[in-house]
Amino acid sequence: MSNAVQTLDGDISIDGVAEADQYLTFIMADEEYGVDILRVQEIRGWDSATPIPNTPAYIRGVINLRGVIVPLVDLRERFGIATIDYGPTTVVIVLRVEGAEKERIMGIVVDAVSDVYNVKEGEMKPAPDFGSVGSIDFVRGLVTIDEKMIITLEIDQMLSDQEIGVAVGEE
Amino acid sequence: MSVDMSQFYQTFFEESVEGLDEMENCLLNLDVGQADPETVNTIFRAAHSIKGGSATFGFAEVAKFTHVMETLLDEMRSGERLVTQEAVDLLLKSVDILRAMLTATQEGQAIEMDPVTRLQSQLEALLGADASLEVKGNGSSNTSANQNKIWDIHFKPHEHLLRTGNDPARIIKELKALGELEIQVDISALPHFKDIEPSASYFSWDFQLTDAGEGKASKEAIEEIFNWVEDDCDLQIIAQENSNVDSVQANTETPTSPKSMPVETRSSEAQASSKGNPEPKTSVKTPVGKKASADSGSIRVSIDKVDALINMVGELVITQSMLGQFGETFEMDQIEKLRDGLVQLERNTRELQENVMRIRMLPISFAFQRFPRVVRDLSQQLGKQVELQLAGEQTELDKTVMEKIGDPLVHLVRNSVDHGIELPEIRKAAGKPEKGHVKLDAYHQGGNVIIEIVDDGAGINKDKVLEKAKERGLVNENDKLSDEQIFDLVFHPGFSTADVVSDVSGRGVGMDVVKRNIRELGGSILVKSEPEKGSTFTIKLPLTLAILDGQLVTVGGETYIIPLVSIIESLQVKKDQVSAIAGTAELYKLRNEYIPVVRLYDLFHCQPISENLEDGLLVVVEGDGQHIGLYVDDLQGQQQVVIKSLETNYRSVEGVSGATILGDGTVALILDITDLIKLSRTIQPGQALDRGMSHSNNQTSNASLVEQNQATNAAA
């Protein structure tokens, strides 16, 4: 991560007001996903979580984040990717999610964190239309960096009230 | 430059409410006839701050109304007016109206103007009636000094004069009564007809008053006449003969009525004169555009409490630095000192926690102070003589609890006055003093606050309650109920023993709500009653909603917390006392009661250590008047837990009221028993059938099962 921080500093001093967004990327099932770095509150190693009964399987449970109860979403489960055992690289990325009514703090459980990239405006390509294939709504766009495709995520959409079953009647 | 005033609204409303409460209290303490000047002063000051505040924030209706109140109070204060019962009643009503106006304003709703206008005219009528008396009295007394004088009076009413309920015609008439009057009217300010505002005053007058030799036309007498309008006009009174100009610039600011304040009293008089111009008489839209967040929940904390906190934090810092030093140069022989330090740290932390909690505590007098009024009004209305005693007003209670206990308390007190206390004749006949007593008492008991409402009335008629209950089929004909159970029936929805349904109480709506509200707060209510001696309602409330005494239980490797208040007992299951109805619903025979067994792992869909009832424990809990036996793997210790909301970052979860953080930093869920009972009704009990009691064939070692659990949990 120290690498990433350096990159960040460098950009600010050199480009000044470069029209670039920064994305924190993470690995899941060999794909690289990115989230807006300004929404990332912290990254922590996977510890245990307290399961909440009668909630969807992707709600991994809740953890104590310095006195605040924070729910965790297993992103593999959420995306319908086969789950694997959590290992030493498994991390929780704690995100600030802006919901319809209020801001929430939520964590996503992913395989491993990867890097921080600058993505200039225009480098992002919209996600192709997959038709009725689900769980694609929350893809913000696709970026190619070093020949790799990075899928950037719209986390407000991905962790919206409806998606995590907050709205009445959703489970 | 515009300052966003809305940020101060909340403070203004809070202060106003406090002021109103104070006014009400003082008014109730005011002895008719011989009022304590200090009390009147307090009332006046409260009214004055509300007026000032509302004018500043642009709540013109409130300011205008308070101004009239203030005028009345000012006269009482200066001793010009006696404190009459009529005035006190009117003022009390005004407090109610003001409260309603403020609430409406706070919520951004339109103020209901009709009652306001009505009361305002009443107040003005009271003011006006005495005013003319005073004028007469004073006018005739001050005589000889300024005889045979000619007075030049310039009188230019401000445009809004008519709207304050004053009438120049009256003034002219009164002037005329003092002597010969020459009048010149200046109509130059009169606008074109189409621009005329019927309720505005455009004229100004020049009077020449010649004393008719009766010595009536003294300066004082003239000033008296203009006394009521001097804030609303330009006035000059000049004595012509002795040529020294005795002018009165009436338009100076008096502390009681800042001229910046738009005084737009719309009295009946003014309305009469403004016929033909139908003014919107109904609700006036308040200037608060957006809905003020109803209660953003600030709290006033006494300096003492804050100082205590600062002290404690200071000590904590000292302890911390002491321990820090140990950490740097620790040797084994210092272990005793280290232990001492840790003990001190624990004590400091606990004290700090207690004191932080105390910040949320307010004396219960905040909830009690409305009762003198309630009882006074109610006893007047019912023709009863009731004396209210308050005790333990300094007992402190969590602010949230206090806010929620107010309405149930009002209900219970009304109930005591209405149903409990008898009419004076009946009391006399029964050999009791004519005046009934209702006592409100509050005190701490353990970790709870007890509030008692005691009356010395007729008591609850057990037979009548039982009869009614049977009539309604709540109780079977042959049931034998204990006194306690009978009294508990009054909390049943729709239950009332009142023969006559009054608008006070007797519809049977409310007592069930009272009980529900108290339960929601984690409290309980108990009734005791003796015929002819009276009844006692005892409410037991937790000190705070932020901390809860919990019993830690484990199910499927997870720790849950059951609120201690809902636990009746915990027991080991004896196989022969369990029976399954139709092979599904399991019942446990506990003494004389059959209680349904609810397996927590079924509700929460997790894997228990053992499904055999005998291996685990049954926690008998009560929720919503029902008992169930909650089957759990094991009991852990009891501890106080700090309640955290799941909703902050997630949502509410069925069967769970919140979460807490345990000593090891992990999260444990707090069970909501009432919710669990509901939940247990919705799940299919069929799955409980096979594995129920019959056997325990999966007797693998517990340890391996736990591992299995964790594996399932991790994978699930």
Type of residue numbered A147: E
Q: Taking 50 as the threshold, does the pLDDT of residue A142 lie above it?
A: yes
Active site residue B695: no
Mean pLDDT on B52-65: 81
**E strand or H helix at B180:** strand B179-186
Tell me the range of B113-117, B248-252, B282-286 where mean pLDDT is highest.
B113-117
Mean pLDDT on B469-480: 75
Are A64 and B661 a contacting pair at CB < 8 A?
yes
- pLDDT, greater one: B686 or B596: B596
Could you give the C-alpha distances from B249 to A124, B148, B171, in angstroms and in order?
A: 77, 24, 18
Q: Which residues on chain B are in Cβ contact (under 8 Å) with A85?
A: 714-715
Query: Which of B79, B111, B133 finishes a domain?
Result: B133
Q: Taking 80 as the threshold, does the pLDDT of residue B281 lie above it?
A: no
Task: Choose the closest CB to A50 out of B558, B645, B715.
Answer: B558
Which residue of A44, A47, A48, A50 is the best one to mutate when testing the B interface, meaning the one whose CB has the most B CBs within 10 A? A50
Q: Which residues on chain B are in Cβ contact (under 8 Å) with A87?
A: none
CATH code (residue B199): 3.30.70
Structure confidence at residue B431 (pLDDT): 85
Residue B665, exposed/middle/buried by CB under 10 A (0-12, 13-18, 19+)?
exposed
Q: Name, in order, each residue with C-beta under 8 angstroms of A80's C-beta and a sequence gap of 6 or more.
A: A134, A135
Residue B289 belongs to some domain of the structure: no
- Residues linked to residue A144 through DSSP beta bridges, in sequence order: A149
The tens digit of pLDDT for each residue in B379-414 reads: 888 888 888 889 888 888 888 888 888 888 888 888
Mean pLDDT on B284-313: 64
Q: Which domain holds residue B158?
A: 142-273
Mean pLDDT on B297-310: 82
Task: Please tell me the distance from the alpha carbon of residue B258 to that of residue B71, in angstroms, as a whole number.
Answer: 13
Residue B290 belongs to some domain of the structure: no
Q: Say if residue B174 is in the same domain as residue B323.
A: no
Structure confidence at residue B44 (pLDDT): 84
CB distance B19 to B99 below 8 Å: no
Could you give the C-alpha distances from B365 to B395, B438, B522, B583, in angstroms and in order?
A: 8, 16, 21, 55
CB distance B628 to B570 below 8 Å: no
Q: Taking 60 as the threshold, does the pLDDT of residue A46 lie above it?
A: yes
Q: Taking 80 as the threshold, does the pLDDT of residue B505 lie above it?
A: no
Å from B667 to nearest chain A CA?
6
Active site residue B70: yes
| Average pLDDT taken over every residue of chain B | 75
- pLDDT, greater one: B192 or A31: A31
- Spatial CA neighbour of B658 closest among A69, A128, A166: A69
Q: Taking 50 as the threshold, does the pLDDT of residue B285 lie above it?
A: no
> What is the share, in percent, of chain B residues with pLDDT greater than 90?
6
Q: Say if residue B353 is in the same domain as residue B368.
A: no
Task: Choose the closest CB to A64 out of B558, B604, B667.
Answer: B667
Q: Which residues on chain A are in Cβ contact (under 8 Å) with B665?
A: 64
Are A54 and B653 a contacting pair at CB < 8 A?
yes
Q: Taking 90 as the threshold, does the pLDDT of residue A93 lie above it?
A: yes
The superfamily (CATH) of domain A2-158 is CheA-289, Domain 4 (2.40.50.180)
Count CA atoms closer than 13 A to B404's CA, side-chain side. 20
Are B653 and A55 a contacting pair at CB < 8 A?
yes
Q: Taking 60 as the threshold, does the pLDDT of residue B124 lie above it?
A: yes
Task: Please tell me the distance from the alpha carbon of residue B126 to that of residue A126, in angstroms, as a whole number.
Answer: 77
B716 interfacial to chain A (CB closer than 8 Å): yes
Of B47-61, B275-289, B595-609, give the lowest mean pLDDT range. Answer: B275-289
Q: Taking 50 as the threshold, does the pLDDT of residue A6 lie above it?
A: no
Active-site residue, selected from the candidate residues B24, B70, B75, B611? B70
The tens digit of pLDDT for each residue in B82-111 reads: 778 788 888 888 888 888 888 888 877 777
Residue B589 belongs to some domain of the structure: yes
Instruction: Estimate to the nearest angstrom the gap between the alpha carbon of B587 and the chain centroid.
Output: 44
Of A89-93, B173-177, B295-299, give the lowest mean pLDDT range. Answer: B295-299
Q: Say if residue B473 is in the same domain as residue B617.
A: no
Task: Choose the closest CB to B666 out of A50, A54, A104.
Answer: A50
> What is the share, in percent, of chain B residues with pLDDT greater than 70?
79
Q: Which residues on chain B are in Cβ contact (under 8 Å) with A62?
A: 646, 650, 659, 667
Task: Please tell me the distance from the alpha carbon of residue B400 to that of residue B412, in angstroms, as a whole number.
Answer: 19
Structure confidence at residue B252 (pLDDT): 39
Looking at the structure of chain B, the number of domains it has is 5
The tens digit of pLDDT for each residue in B414-431 reads: 888 888 888 888 888 888
The tens digit of pLDDT for each residue in A11-36 reads: 444 444 456 789 999 998 888 999 99
Q: Say if residue B107 is in the same domain as residue B69.
A: yes
Task: Please tell me the distance from the alpha carbon of residue B132 to that of residue B173, in angstroms, as a whole number.
Answer: 12
Query: Which of B88, B103, B133 finishes a domain?
Result: B133
B668 interfacial to chain A (CB closer than 8 Å): yes
Q: Say if residue B367 is in the same domain as residue B355.
A: no
The tens digit of pLDDT for each residue in B509-551 reads: 577 788 888 877 878 888 888 888 888 999 988 777 777 888 9
Q: Say if residue B662 is in the same domain as residue B705.
A: yes
A-chain residue closest to B659, CA distance: A69
Structure confidence at residue A19 (pLDDT): 67
Active site residue B142: no
Å from A134 to nearest chain B CA?
21
Of B399-403, B567-571, B616-620, B636-640, give the lowest mean pLDDT range. Answer: B399-403
Q: Which residues on chain B are in Cβ contact (under 8 Å) with A68?
A: 644, 648-649
Task: Please tell me the distance from the alpha carbon of residue B612 to that of residue B575, in angstroms, as a whole number.
Answer: 10
Mean pLDDT on A130-142: 70
The tens digit of pLDDT for each residue in B659-691 reads: 998 888 889 999 988 888 888 887 654 444 333
Mean pLDDT on B176-204: 79
pLDDT band at A130 (very low <50, low <70, confident <90, very high): low
pLDDT band at B704 (very low <50, low <70, confident <90, very high): very low
Structure confidence at residue A107 (pLDDT): 93
Q: Taking 60 as the threshold, does the pLDDT of residue B259 lie above it?
A: no
> Between helices B37-56 and B60-77, what is the axis angle to 10°?
160
B-chain residue closest to A159, CA distance: B650
Task: Choose the closest CB to A50 out of B605, B649, B669.
Answer: B669
Residue B85 belongs to some domain of the structure: yes
Structure confidence at residue A133 (pLDDT): 57
Q: Taking 70 as the threshold, does the pLDDT of residue B296 lie above it?
A: no
Q: Name, in order, each residue with C-beta under 8 angstroms of B64's C-beta and a sequence gap of 6 or more.
A: B120, B262, B263, B264, B265
Q: Which residues on chain A are in Cβ contact (under 8 Å) with B669?
A: 50, 52-53
Sheet holding B386-391, edge to edge: B386-391, B436-445, B448-455, B534-542, B524-530
Are B656 and A53 a contacting pair at CB < 8 A?
yes
Are A53 and B715 a contacting pair at CB < 8 A?
no
Are B649 and A63 a contacting pair at CB < 8 A?
no
Could you give the C-alpha distances from B128 to B53, B133, B176, B495, in angstroms and in order?
A: 26, 9, 19, 50
Task: Please tell me the distance from the alpha carbon of residue B370 to that of residue B624, in angstroms, as a whole number.
Answer: 30
Q: Say if residue B559 is in the same domain as residue B448.
A: no
Tell me the range of A33-37, B195-199, B265-269, B352-356 where mean pLDDT is highest.
A33-37
Domain ranges across chain A = 2-158
Are A57 and B669 a contacting pair at CB < 8 A?
no
ipTM for the predicted complex: 0.80
What are A's interface residues with B at a Cβ cutoff of 8 A? 48-55, 57, 59, 61-64, 67-71, 83, 85-86, 104-106, 164-166
Residue B608 belongs to some domain of the structure: yes
Structure confidence at residue B297 (pLDDT): 64
Q: Which residues on chain A are in Cβ contact (under 8 Å) with B714?
A: 85-86
A-chain residue closest to B714, CA distance: A85
CATH code (residue B90): 1.20.120.160
